Amino acid sequence: MTEQTHQNRLPAEWEPQDAVLIAWPHQHTDWAPLLAEVEDVYLALTREISRFETVIIVTPQAAALKNRLLNENLNLSRVRIIEIATNDTWARDFGPLTVYRGTHTRLLNFVFNGWGGKFSAELDNLVTTKLHASGIFKKTSRQDIDLVLEGGSIEVDGCGSLLTTSQCLLNPNRNPHLSRQQLEELLSEHFGVDHFLWLDHGDLVGDDTDAHIDTLARLCPQDTILYVSCPDRSDEHFHPLQQMEEQLRSFVSRAGQPFRLLPLPWPRACFEEGRRLPATYANFLVINQAVLVPTYSDPADAIALQTIAQAFPQREIIAIDCRPLIRQHGSLHCVTMQLPQGVLT
């Protein structure tokens, strides 16, 4: 890597963390019809994450949420609740991407436009600014960047490699004025990466994000990639995911070696009012000493947990029932954003 790309470094998700950011669902979000069910998922997330690190929760109703958590017997010593208005709860895509710049941390605040203008996002686009203004991040600085980018659209290994999809990052509903080369130059500058892995195949029916990488394939330690695999020839995903797998096999690490590829199982098709939902085991969250894995009350759940354990053998593997989350077309990773060590401490 050049001297310039060393200025910023976006750490891998499996590096030490200070906290995880979530945005609590409320009656003015699309969760209103199933609020009780989805809050159960958020309670489970808060309970499990707070075993290992701090949970930062943004909500427009801080006092009411604090009482709710106390009534659920949650230990609030590792929970920080900040009152901020939100449109929705997909913190992965409007939360800050935190880089190391020398020994300091810096919050990169990209533009969130509701996945290409599909949904209202004016409040969510302000969350990082308001969080920083609250003082919760101590001396961590913030840099506002005039580039549309969601956290779920990129994967990094912290050592110079970035994995993404051309369907999302090169979509004209994001940054139509930028070519692939221009986008790579900006990502190199902001994240300290110089080895780009572009997936040109793979997309989940029901996904609103234009093929976010965190629904398809995830970088893991020791040049490993966990990826979704569909063995069912009758499934509409079969051929696109076969093409994606072939492309993954052609990729090499920054050191020029093939990746260790671990296929994730394929859950049964899930539907809501006749529409297919994007259930995926790739949407897991790595935290300190653990990995939280979305499950769907499916026979493939156990295989997914075992497979992810192969990539993270030193961590506790924790299942979280995410059936309510996929009813709004996302899953566990989509509603969380990790904050690396140094942001709070």
pLDDT tens column, 76-125: 999 999 999 999 999 999 999 999 998 899 999 999 999 898 999 999 99
Q: What is the 3-state secondary structure (H, E, C) of 137-163?
A: CCCCEEEEEEEECCHHHEEECCCCEEE
**Is the pLDDT confidence value at 1 over 90?**
no
Q: Closest Cα to residue 279, out of 312, 307, 247, 304?
A: 304
- Distance spanning both ends of the chain, measured CA to CA: 29
Q: How many CB atoms lie within 10 A of CB 271?
A: 9
Q: Give the total number of structural domains in the chain.
A: 1
Q: Is the dihedral of CA 309, 292, 196, 9 positive or negative?
A: negative
Asked if the structure places residue 263 within a domain, the reply is yes
d(CA 178, CA 269): 36
One-letter amino acid at 6 equals H
Asked if the structure places residue 290 within a domain, the reply is yes
List CB contacts of 153: < 8 A, sequence separation 6 or more: 93, 164, 165, 168, 169, 209, 212, 213, 214
**Is the pLDDT confidence value at 154 over 50?**
yes
List CB contacts of 313: < 8 A, sequence separation 6 or more: none
Asked if the structure places residue 96 within a domain, the reply is yes
Asked if the structure places residue 177 within a domain, the reply is yes
Which pLDDT score is estimated for 2?
40
**Is the pLDDT confidence value at 250 over 70?**
yes
Which pLDDT score is estimated for 292?
98
Beta bridge partners of residue 144, listed in sequence order: 109
| Alpha helices by DSSP H, the chain | 35-49, 62-71, 91-94, 114-117, 127-133, 166-169, 180-191, 238-250, 301-311, 323-326
d(CA 344, CA 137): 5
Q: What pTM value is reported for the model?
A: 0.95
pLDDT tens column, 197-218: 999 999 999 998 999 999 999 9
Q: Are 249 and 301 in contact (CB under 8 A)?
A: no
Asked if the structure places residue 345 within a domain, the reply is no
Q: 282, exposed or middle or buried, with CB in 10 Å at 0-12, 13-18, 19+?
A: buried
d(CA 29, CA 23): 11
What six digits make up the tokens of 273? 């009012």
Asked if the structure places residue 245 within a domain, the reply is yes
* Domain of residue 25, residue span: 4-340
Q: How many CB atoms lie within 10 A of CB 153?
A: 23
Domain harbouring 309, CATH code: 3.75.10.10
Sheet holding 260-264, edge to edge: 217-220, 224-228, 260-264
Q: What Cα–Cα distance (Å) separates residue 251 from each residue in 1, 157, 163, 179, 243? A: 19, 14, 10, 22, 13
Asked if the structure places residue 258 within a domain, the reply is yes
- pLDDT above 90 covers a percentage of the chain that reads 92
Count of all residues that appear for the chain in the document: 345
Instruction: Name the DSSP letter for residue 252.
Output: B
pLDDT, greater one: 6 or 69: 69
Angle at 336 between CA 35 and CA 177, to 5 degrees: 110
**Is the pLDDT confidence value at 345 over 90?**
no
